[in-house]
Structure 1
Amino acid sequence: MSPCIIIASPDQRCRARLTRLLGGKVTANIVEAATLRDTFNLTEERDPTLVIVDDVLATLPEFRAVQMLFTAIDTRWLTLCTRPGDGRSAIAPTASGLFCLDLTAPPQRILEQVRAVVRNPKKRVSGAPAPSPSAGRSWRRLALIGSSTGGIEALIRILSEYPAQCPPTAIVQHTGQGFGDSLTKLLARNCAAEVRPMEPGLEMRPGRVVIAAGTPRHMELAGASGPPALRFTHAGPVAGHCPSVDALFHSAVPRARKVVGVLLTGMGSDGAQGLLALRRAGAMTLAQDEASSVVYGMPRVAFERGAVCEQVPIGGIAAAILKTAAASSGAGAEPRTGARA
């Protein structure tokens, strides 16, 4: 496949101008994207050498998932500055580790900068992790996880340590509407187990991770007995969010003794009250510790309310989930190190 450059900007005139400037002058096909969702999908499809992202898109919260995809497949990216006099230099450092491409700079300078990046070969990047030796373990608990700001990195860290036959797992991640499928694809790249978006009636079973994100509906655990399955509900926001972590956790209270509830980094308090209800009903509950949280909001509120059996650094959460999910349902509800009764 020929080298590819993606130009991502909501401004059609900006995309057209840069396409004309680069077209025929760099050894790469030029592809345009108007949204972050299109950018994510095109990046997966085309495996580009370079993505040029309008700084308007790069400041959106959903860009973090796109950036994580760039990292996963070693795609270089530049932010695109389109407004003259905004105080940013054409070689100002950016989160990409490269520089900001100034569309108001002389065309030759822009060409030189793009060519310099395109000439840099990509590294070979492996796919999802190999299955863990613990793949044959029997699971006695489900894992329910909630996360918000900083959660994408935390989830990748956890799922990359999951075995192919992991505990049945359901995850609520706060993100922009319509971005759930892209997030699911990103997490699937980093997990040996099956990762799929939420669908009504989907059974929770070993080796499956279900994601609810970017949807106007809540994901809940259905029923109090029988094979665990998931359902959508159409209630309004809970704790300010839809889908809500609290909605998922509260729905699991009838099965609490067979649940591991996990609350990761994030702003606000979503999930704290539901985690408390789970703990009181006999679930094992974990929260990410302050030192490793990007935003110690949701875990802090849960800890202060007495909802947390144990606070764990992000590097230890996967192991804690696997250990607890394999334990008998009568163990684990008592507080341990870092817990507050």
Structure 2
Amino acid sequence: MDLLFVADPLEGFKTYKDSTFAMMREAARRGHGLLHCESRALRWQRGGSVVADTRRIELTGDAHDWFRVVESTETRVADTGAVLMRQDPPFDSEYFYATHLLGQAEREGARVFNKPAALRDHPEKLAILEFPEHIAPTLVTRDAAAVRRFHDEHRDVILKPLDGMGGMGIFRVGPDGLNLGSVIETLNAGGTRTLMVQRYVPEIVHGDKRVLVIAGKPVPYVLARIPQGSEIRGNLAAGGKGVAQPLSPRDREIAEALGPVLAARGLLLVGLDVIGDRLTEINVTSPTCFQEIQQQTGFDVAAMFVDALEAALAP
């Protein structure tokens, strides 16, 4: 069947670590056709269907010129076997609009993973609020005074924007409160933007663990993204070192508690971020770390994912 990947430009892929590329490679190995478009290519007009300008590609096996375009055409999205929404964050207005177009494509018969409505309903920072028993003390607010009270109570805190990615815009303020006012002003823009504050979890020195959950079941290995030097952020984009580890009992407990709930909502692939024994984020837009886990452990995450995708599409 043809799989349509709605993703960022292929020319920018770093194929040695890109999880979407790993999905494509496994799907092609099984004989599935590969189509690609960017979300901006989606369109709908009254009297018609959701269509996109797509490129049919083949993988070359070359590390640099890794794909070739076989055909460029307009494709009715519902005519593809499945749509994989793999556009990277941030979840901005344009991403939001794309999910609505894909929702219309669903009404026309398309099968979309992750489900567009579920993407909208699970903003990656705020989705943890539904599972308070698994998270550290957390505050979501625009109110600077509330942030100060939270800091007074917990003394060592992390502040972050709700629309950041890759560790962007994350600050730590310790017991001395140094620069707390400046950080609040930077993040909440005079009370016009909502931010998140969490008690600092010191186990970050051992890594911010990415727990992948596919069709409600955890991958047996996590990728611990360990901060380097004086950095507090473990994100790979912020220079963290990725170290694959077996799933811990607590990681499994969190994954097994959340996995079936999220899968039932149409989230085939989820990336849970866990620091110590606390859940910090639920990533649903384009969870990564497939290749790092496979390269270090031999476990084929992409194969597990395509197995789940094929099972979801089975009659």
Under a length normalisation based on structure 1, what TM-score does the superposition of the two structures give? 0.28
* Rg (Cα) greater in structure: 1
Under a length normalisation based on structure 2, what TM-score does the superposition of the two structures give? 0.30
Higher relative contact order structure (alpha carbons within 8 Å, sequence separation ≥ 6): 2
Q: Which has the larger strand fraction?
A: 2
